[in-house]
Amino acid sequence: MCLISLSWQPDAQYPLILVANRDEFYERPAKTVHFWEDNPEILGGRDIEAGGSWLALSRRGRIAAVTNYRELPIQPGTLSRGHLVSNFLSSDLSSKEYLSVIHSSAEQYSGFNLLVGDSSGLYYYSNRMGSIISLKPGYHALSNHLLNTPWPKLENVRQGLTQHVEERPKPEPEALIAMMHNGSKAPDDQLPETGVGQEREKFLSSCFIASEHYGTRNTSVLILDKQGSLSWTEQMYQPHGETGKKFQFSMKFPMQWTSSEKSVTQSKQP
């Protein structure tokens, strides 16, 4: 994924609402959201090239999402970041335990941001920060820098999701997909500086990206209610932002969310 916003309210009617855009080269082969043939417990998209995922969950009540950390020069890793998602879903470790293991081998991956959740709560880790963070209830956003970095597109989707949740008795997937289909670019004086140059920063500054070779390939909306019913709506896109197929799944998510006000911090590895 390249842009994620979520409402994390463990005691609300809808404990988790997550919206996400996946930006990628159109030529990179991938499977749309489905129950995996080699592990039918897992629901999510899949990268054919490396075998991992960007966003997926399991019938056992586990969820994970990863974004790249944008930086130049790129520091290549020996392991695929997509396996951070799939390995967590196949693991029996708690979220915090899993991230502790990842922390010990973080240098083997290119820069990443990882969100994982299970019955113990939602957690965040980046190998460009080196701390394991237990997410507090509220609204959060993540792109290609650290969690809740105030990039314009992050602020836009977080504010949009906040307004959507607080003004409606029930979240509406179609409206959330439309919210993520915002091609407005940030003003020059608000562009981040990640080393890719101003022209590229401008191109990447919109919530929804469209071009011939690279862009938003899908928007995912996940909604979990307190009875454990989870829906996944996914809208696909083709080059130049042309609308493609839509997929919808529903399932029981066998877990009771909890939250913790504490954060667990570990020193970044040298």
What is the sign of the dihedral through the CA atoms of 197, 198, 202 and 205?
positive
* Model confidence, pTM: 0.93
DSSP label at residue 187: P
Q: Give me the domain span that covers residue 213.
A: 3-252
pLDDT at 1: 74
Measure the CA–CA gap between 153 and 155, rounded to whole angstroms. Answer: 5
Question: Is residue 265, in this structure, part of any structural domain at all?
Answer: no
| CA atoms within 13 A of residue 270's CA, in its CB half-sphere | 0
Residue 210 and residue 230 in contact, taking contact as beta carbons nearer than 8 Å: no
In-domain check, residue 237: yes
Rounded-to-integer distance, Cα 247 and Cα 31, Å:
12
Q: Are 124 and 138 in contact (CB under 8 A)?
A: no
- Show the beta-strand stretches assigned E in 30-183: 30-35, 42-47, 55-58, 62-68, 112-118, 121-126, 132-134, 138-142
CB 225, CB 214: distance < 8 Å: no
Is residue 100 assigned to a domain? yes
Tokens 């956003």, residue located: 141
In a domain, 261, yes or no: no
Q: Is residue 98 part of a domain?
A: yes
Inside any domain, residue 268: no
- Residue 256's pLDDT is what? 65
Separation CA 152–CA 160 (nearest Å) = 12
Six token digits for residue 102 = 């990842």
- The closest of 100, 128, 101 to 142, measured between CA atoms, is 128
Phi and psi (nearest 5°) for 53? Answer: -150, 165
Which run of H or of E encompasses 253? none
- 57-96: b (≥16 Cβ within 10 Å) or e: bbbebbbbbbbbbbeeeeeebeebbbbbbbbbbebebbbb
Judge whether 126 and 69 are in contact, CB under 8 Å: yes
Q: What is the pLDDT of residue 260?
A: 46
Mean pLDDT of the chain: 93
pLDDT at 165: 98
Rounded mean pLDDT for each run of 10 residues along the chain, 270 residues in total: 94 96 97 96 95 96 97 91 97 96 96 96 96 96 97 97 97 98 97 95 97 98 95 98 97 70 36
The pLDDT of residue 267 is: 33
Please tell me the predicted confidence (pLDDT) of residue 258.
Answer: 55
Q: Does residue 109 fall inside a structural domain?
A: yes
CB atoms within 10 A of CB 172: 14
Closest to 253 in 3D by CA, of 231, 269, 268: 231
* Domains of the chain: total: 1
Q: Is 206 exposed, middle or buried (0-12, 13-18, 19+ CB in 10 A)?
A: buried
Instruction: Report if residue 270 sits inside a domain.
Output: no
Helical H runs in the chain? 82-90, 95-104, 152-167, 173-180, 198-204
CATH of the domain at 150: 3.60.60.10
CA distance 226 to 236: 28
